[in-house]
């Protein structure tokens, strides 16, 4: 493993908790694709919301292995030579298996997402919209962190 890469669970969790966006790498019959999503983490599980129809929802519902990545602390490096340019960052990449949640598990996961982005989970839900919202839990099977710069 490269010196800038770590499988330390505490570092992985710290970066995921600070990251604003999770990039999901999914695959279906049409091939691989990537989509950015809002998310929250608890333990070794990532939570995200989605519509119940469409390519992303179908790929998640299939329950196949997916990959994910997130980054934080992006800072451009500059220099006098081309090889001195680049970025400092903290990132995570990993893989896991999704499953859809229902009932109180679904509401609890949405609360985790709201707490991450809004600072509170004390928001009412529109029941009609809630029925049309899917919430996936991704069981993280493996993840590594990379700290560059």
Per-residue pLDDT, 1 = 64
Give domain limits for the chain.
5-148
The whole-angstrom separation of Cα 63 and Cα 43 is 20
pTM of the entire structure? 0.92
Per-residue pLDDT, 118 = 93
Sequence-distant (6+) residues with CB within 8 A of 61 are 100, 134
What is the fold, at CATH topology level, of the domain defined by 5-148?
Pnp Oxidase; Chain A (2.30.110)
Please report, for residues 2, 9, 26, 85, 145, the alpha-carbon distance to residue 14 in angstroms, rounded to integers and kept in the order given: 20, 9, 24, 26, 10
Q: From the first residue on, what is the mean pLDDT of each consecutive set of 10 residues in the chain (149 residues)?
A: 86 97 95 96 97 95 96 92 90 98 95 94 87 96 94
């Amino acid at each position: 493993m490269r010196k800038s890469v770590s499988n330390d669970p505490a570092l992985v969790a710290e970066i995921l908790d600070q990251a604003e966006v999770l990039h999901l790498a999914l695959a279906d019959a049409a091939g691989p694709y990537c989509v950015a999503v809002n998310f929250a983490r608890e333990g070794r599980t990532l939570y995200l919301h989605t519509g119940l129809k469409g390519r992303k929802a179908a790929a998640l519902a299939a329950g196949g292995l997916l990959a994910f990545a997130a980054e934080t602390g992006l800072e451009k490096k500059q220099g006098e030579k081309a090889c001195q340019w680049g970025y400092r960052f903290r990132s995570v990449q990993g893989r896991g298996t999704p499953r859809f949640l229902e009932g109180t598990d679904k509401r609890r996961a949405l609360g985790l997402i709201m707490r991450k982005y809004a600072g509170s989970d004390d928001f009412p839900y529109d029941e009609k919209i809630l029925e049309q919202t899917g919430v996936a839990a991704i069981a993280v099977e493996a993840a590594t962190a990379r700290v560059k710069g």
